[in-house]
Amino acid sequence: MDIRILENVEEIGAAAGRIICDFVNEKPACVLGFATGASPVPTYNYMIEQFNEGKVSFKDVTTFNLDEYCGLPEGHKNSYKTFMFENLFSKVDIDPAKVNFLDGNADEAEESRRYAEAIKAKGGVDIQILGIGRNGHIAFNEPSDEFTDEAWKVTLSQSTIDANSIYFDDTEMPTSAMTMGIGSIMRSKKIILIATGSSKAEAVKAMIQGEVTPQCPASILQKHDDTVILLDKAAASLI
């Protein structure tokens, strides 16, 4: 793990954004894996800035998002698809035909197979962006007794519901989601994990210094050979 402790979220966003934009300039038809939540937003802002300055184009990039809630109708304001269009896709030249999401309302087994095949057909994910949950989850892979492989339907933990329900004002937060599995995340060629704030400090310590266990899903990243971990001082305070 290449662990970097930076000053603030803007520096973290610029560091992750630079890795992505440099890579896209080298390989314009690459495959990027995106995450939702607060952690990647400064990265997306950096990418938008670079695009606006004419320094990068995403028009040939294919994207796969990590997860999607179950039970929300297409186009719902709290869906992760909406999040990605609002925070990145509508602000750069990404081709909407090249973006991929899990369908939280599809049959679990068929959807898992469809997503795995779509990723494989594109040659795999080149760079995957990740956040980390307060409980050590990556994507929506919650602490459990085993590491999963391909996409699956997960029941969200109370910790995740507590953390994410702030985004649901007039809608009840779903209690399940479709998520890329740990195996599919680990097959990404490069991973960039972003964690900021003291609420992530315990999970960050367990991810980096704890044993590799599905009770802290992010700990599996110790076994990935090209993972960059970008932290602020608060998230790094226990390591």
Q: Which residues bind ligand PGA (CB under 6 A)?
A: 37-39, 131-133, 137
Per the annotation, the verdict on 224 as an active-site residue is: no
Per the annotation, the verdict on 135 as an active-site residue is: yes
Shortest distance in whole angstroms from residue 128 CB to ligand PGA: 12
Q: Which of residues 32 and 177 has its CB atom nearest to ligand PGA in the complex? A: 177
Shortest distance in whole angstroms from residue 221 CB to ligand PGA: 13
Q: Catalytic residue, from 67, 68, 126, 150: name it.
A: 67
Cα–Cα distance between 178 and 183 in angstroms, integer? 14
3-state secondary structure the chain: CEEEECCCHHHHHHHHHHHHHHHHHHCCCCEEEECCCCCCHHHHHHHHHHHHCCCCCCCCCEEEECEEECCCCCCCCCCHHHHHHHHCHHHCCCCHHHEECCCCCCCHHHHHHHHHHHHHHCCCCCEEEECCCCCCCECCECCCCCCCCCCEEEECCHHHHHHHHHHCCCCCCCCEEEECCHHHHHCCCEEEEEECCHHHHHHHHHHHHCCCECCEHHHHHHHCCCEEEEECCCCCCCC
- Are 221 and 212 within 8 A, CB to CB? no
Shortest distance in whole angstroms from residue 239 CB to ligand PGA: 18
Q: Which of residues 47 and 56 has its CB atom nearest to ligand PGA in the complex? A: 47
- Structure-token pair, residue 213: 């266990």
Q: Which of residues 33 and 131 has its CB atom nearest to ligand PGA in the complex? A: 131
Q: Which of residues 56 and 181 has its CB atom nearest to ligand PGA in the complex? A: 181
Q: Which of residues 31 and 132 has its CB atom nearest to ligand PGA in the complex? A: 132
Shortest distance in whole angstroms from residue 55 CB to ligand PGA: 26
Q: Catalytic residue, from 111, 126, 142, 150: name it.
A: 142
Shortest distance in whole angstroms from residue 146 CB to ligand PGA: 20
Per the annotation, the verdict on 25 as an active-site residue is: no
Per the annotation, the verdict on 142 as an active-site residue is: yes
Q: How far is CA 46 from CA 131, 229, 235, in A?
A: 17, 18, 21
Q: Catalytic residue, from 65, 135, 141, 164: name it.
A: 135
Angle at the Cα of 51 from the Cα atoms of 47 and 53, rounded to 5 degrees: 120
Catalytic residues: 67, 135, 137, 142
